[in-house]
Amino acid sequence: MVKDNGCIFCRIAAGTVPSTKLFEDGEFLCVRDIQPQAKVHLLVIPKENISSLDEAFPVHGHPRHELMGRLLETATKVARQQGLLPEGFRLAINTGRAAGQTVFHLHVHILGGEALGATFA
Ligand SMILES: [Zn+2]
């Protein structure tokens, strides 16, 4: 059970905010982005409240290699399950406000379902 600390993604993980989960296991969940930037725009979210890549790979402390490997694997599996292969999809992890990170709970964006172009949204 995930504790409700006020973070929107923690609330989704805890079930205190209703959501349609496209995927869920003990460690991750997948929902649609509420402000889609592509025809298909999904978020894969670890249930653990890690703020960003900066926390996942700290200067001092334990790097979260295994969790991050499983996060990328889960995103790939979800993208495949959602029919984004073989055409292709993009993963993005915004880190910090200047990069457009708005929720400080680590998540990976899956973008696809159309030709995405060369720029990074
Ligand atoms: Zn959180």
**CA–CA separation, 67 and 46 (whole Å):** 8
**CA–CA separation, 5 and 11 (whole Å):** 7
Question: What are the residues whose beta carbon lies below 5 Å from ligand 1 (ion)?
Answer: 7, 9-10, 49, 105
62 is catalytic: no
**CA–CA separation, 22 and 7 (whole Å):** 20
Please give the average pLDDT of every successive group of 10 residues along the chain, which has 121 residues. Answer: 75 94 98 96 98 97 98 98 97 97 97 86 54
- SS3 state at 67: helix
In angstroms, what is the span from residue 49 Cα to ligand 1's centroid?
A: 4
**CA–CA separation, 2 and 5 (whole Å):** 9
Of the residues 41, 65, 105, 107, which is catalytic? 107
Nearest alpha-carbon partner for 2 in 44, 47, 45 = 47
Strand-pairing partners, residue 40, are 112
Q: Is the peptide bond before 86 cis (omega within 30 degrees of 0)?
A: yes
Question: Which pLDDT score, from 0 to 100, does residue 121 have?
Answer: 54
Question: Which pLDDT score, from 0 to 100, does residue 4 have?
Answer: 56
For the full predicted model, state whether its pTM sits above 0.75. yes
Question: Which pLDDT score, from 0 to 100, does residue 92 have?
Answer: 97
**CA–CA separation, 76 and 8 (whole Å):** 24
Q: Is the dihedral of CA 19, 21, 24, 91 positive or negative?
A: negative
Question: Which pLDDT score, from 0 to 100, does residue 18 have?
Answer: 92
Question: Which pLDDT score, from 0 to 100, does residue 45 have?
Answer: 98
